[in-house]
Homo-oligomer: A and B are copies of this chain.
Amino acid sequence: MRDLAVCASLPPQEVDSLERYVSSMELQANAELARAGQPCRQAYSVTSGMLRLVRTLADARRQVVAFVLPGHFVGLTEHVVHRQSIEAVVPSRVCAFELDGIRDLRQRFPGFEHSLLERACRDLDDAHDAMLLLARLSPLERLASFLLRLRGQMKIREDDPRMALPMGRGDIADHLGLTVETVSRSFTRLREQGVIALPDPQHVEILDAGALSELASALR
C-alpha cells in the first residue's frame, strides 16, 4: 500500500486516512473494471498484472488507448460517466480508490494534487506520442516503437534481452491501429530481419536493439 506511487506525496501518517477509501481487488483475465457509459465512481492503481483502456465505436471498431502497468494510475477524469472501459489483460490486482475520497484528499493535501497533475501531464505527453505513431509511422515502425516503449515501462534489467507480451495480437493491433494480420506479418518481418526472436507468441527476444531503435525513428 505504502509503495503506491500516488501515495508517496502524502504525509506518512496520512496514508492511513487514504486506506479508508481504498479496497484491494483481484481480477481475472479479461475482467471489466469499468464499462464505457457507466458512472465514474473509482480510480485505480495497478499492483500487479496489466490493464487496458479500450474505446469502442458502435460498429465494434476498437482502440486500446493505453496499457496500464503496475505502479500506474487510471480513472481520474472530469467526466461523470466512463468514456472507455477498463479491462484486465491478465490476472491482475488493483487498488480501487473512491473518487469522493480522492477529492477529499486532493483538497487536504496539495502535494497529492500536485503529483496527480504531474502524472496527468506525463500521460498527455504519452498520448501525443501515440498520436504521432498512429498518424505517421509504418506498421514496422509502430511495432518497433511499441516494443521499445513497453520494455521501458516494464522494469527489466538492461542486459536481459527477453521480454513478455502479455496481451494478444488483437490487443496489439487495436493499440497500433492495424489488423491482426499486419501485426503478425510485422512480427515475422522483424524476425526474418534478425531484429528479434519469437520463442513463442507471448515472448520476444531483442537481438538487435540498435536496429529496433532505428526503426522506432526517434519516437522518444
A110–B142 Cα distance when bound, in Å, is 40
Residues of A50-85 at the interface with B, using a CB-CB cut-off of 8 Å, are 53, 55, 57-59, 61-63, 65, 76-79, 83-84
Residues of A96-127 at the interface with B, using a CB-CB cut-off of 8 Å, are 106-107, 110, 113-114, 116-118, 120-125, 127
**Contact between B131 and A127, CB atoms less than 8 A apart:** yes
When each residue 183-220 of chain A gets 1 if its CB lies under 8 Å from chain B and 0 otherwise, what string results?
00000000000000000000000000000000001110
> Size range of the interface on A?
35 or more
Asked if A25 is an interface residue, CB under 8 A from chain B, the answer is no
Asked if A15 is an interface residue, CB under 8 A from chain B, the answer is no
**Contact between B83 and A136, CB atoms less than 8 A apart:** no
A24–B107 Cα distance when bound, in Å, is 32
State the Cβ distance, A5 to closest chain B Cβ, in Å.
14
State the Cβ distance, A188 to closest chain B Cβ, in Å.
22
> In the assembled complex, which residues on chain B have CB atoms less than 8 Å from the CB atom of A76?
121
CB closest chain-B residue, reference A61: B136
Asked if A130 is an interface residue, CB under 8 A from chain B, the answer is yes
Asked if A2 is an interface residue, CB under 8 A from chain B, the answer is no
Asked if A128 is an interface residue, CB under 8 A from chain B, the answer is yes
State the Cβ distance, A191 to closest chain B Cβ, in Å.
25
Asked if A147 is an interface residue, CB under 8 A from chain B, the answer is no
> In the assembled complex, which residues on chain B have CB atoms less than 8 Å from the CB atom of A120?
117, 120-121, 124
CB closest chain-B residue, reference A130: B131
Q: Can you give 9 contacting A-B residue pairs, CB < 8 Å? A: A59-B217, A61-B136, A78-B122, A78-B125, A107-B110, A117-B117, A120-B124, A124-B124, A127-B127
Closest 6 CB pairs of A and B: A135-B177, A127-B127, A134-B134, A120-B120, A63-B132, A61-B136
